[in-house]
Amino acid sequence: MGTFFSIISFISFTAGCFILINLPFKDFTDNLISLLNREKRLSIRDKINSLHKKPNKGIKKIINEAKTALKMMGKEKEIGTVWMISMVLFIVGVIFSLSVNNIFLVPVMAVGLAMLPFIFIIFTSISYQRQTNEELESALSTISTSYIRNENITKAVEENSEYLNPPVSEVFEFFLGQTKLITSNTKMAIENMKPKIKSTVFQEWCDTLISCQDNKNLKNTLIPITQKLSDERVISSELNTMLYSPLKEWLMMMIILFSNIPIIKALNKDWYKILVGTIWGKLVLALCVLVTFISLLGVVRHTRPIEYKA
Whether residue 51 has pLDDT greater than 50: no
Highest mean pLDDT among 59-73, 105-119, 183-197: 105-119
Nearest residue to 154 (alpha-carbon basis) of 94, 115, 209, 78: 209
Strand positions, DSSP E, 6-137: none
Whether residue 31 has pLDDT greater than 70: no
Cβ–Cβ under 8 Å, residues 199 and 132:
yes
Tell me if residue 126 falls in helix, strand or coil.
helix
Q: Which of 40-44, 177-181, 254-258 has the lowest mean pLDDT?
A: 40-44
Q: Which of 46-60, 136-150, 173-187 has the lowest mean pLDDT?
A: 46-60
Please name the residues in contact with 216: beta carbons below 8 A apart, sequence gap of 6 or more: 151
Confidence at residue 268, expressed as pLDDT on a 0 to 100 scale = 85
Confidence at residue 32, expressed as pLDDT on a 0 to 100 scale = 57
Nearest residue to 74 (alpha-carbon basis) of 202, 166, 200, 206: 166
- What is the rounded CA–CA span in Å between residue 66 and residue 307? 19
Whether residue 161 has pLDDT greater than 80: yes
Cβ–Cβ under 8 Å, residues 226 and 134:
no
> HEC profile for 265-309?
HHHCHHHHHHHHHCHHHHHHHHHHHHHHHHHHHHHHHHCCCCCCC
Rounded to an integer, the average pLDDT of 255-272 is 87
Whether residue 243 has pLDDT greater than 80: no
- What is the rounded CA–CA span in Å between residue 222 and residue 212? 9
Confidence at residue 20, expressed as pLDDT on a 0 to 100 scale = 65
Confidence at residue 17, expressed as pLDDT on a 0 to 100 scale = 63
- What is the rounded CA–CA span in Å between residue 50 and residue 43? 11
Confidence at residue 240, expressed as pLDDT on a 0 to 100 scale = 66
